[in-house]
Amino acid sequence: MSTVASVSVRGLDEVQRALAKLEPVPVKKLLQQASTAGAKKAKPYAQAETPRGKTGRLRKSISATQARRDRPAAIVRFRPKIAFYRTMVIGGTRPHAIRFPDQVKAGVPKSAGNIRHPGARPNDIMARAWAKAEPETMAAIGKVIDVYLDQL
């Protein structure tokens, strides 16, 4: 399950064409700076929407980084090495039985002595965060572009 939210900016083609005519600073570099500024503004909203756990690892695992491909772009995401269970929170889980390692070692059959977990509903953290962060994020993107245009 993917935890990436995509953002579409209307009129982006026109902005890119206008900026391409100016070209002292490469347009891709400017758009990368703008998208990174927007991602940094969206990160606190994603953290606020993330449920608090005992350790807070899921909330701490949120980062705003540059995309590795399809650039210029920036991503607000959960880092998997910090919170491996992020997909279970975001996508939910079905009801299931839980067997503990000592039960496996003791040879307890799967049908006996298990804990029944009721499952969890999906929690679309990023969609809720984007709904709240969109105005501020778009303002940050616009501000970076405006500052560049004012320098010309």
Domain ranges for the chain, please list them. Answer: 12-92+124-151
Q: Looking up tokens 């003791």, which residue turns up?
A: 106
pTM attached to this predicted model: 0.73
pLDDT above 90: residue 43: yes
Rounded distance between C-alpha atoms, residue 22 and residue 36, angstroms: 21
Of 141 and 12, the structure prediction assigns the larger pLDDT to 141
* Composition of the chain by helix, strand, coil, percent to 5: 50, 10, 40
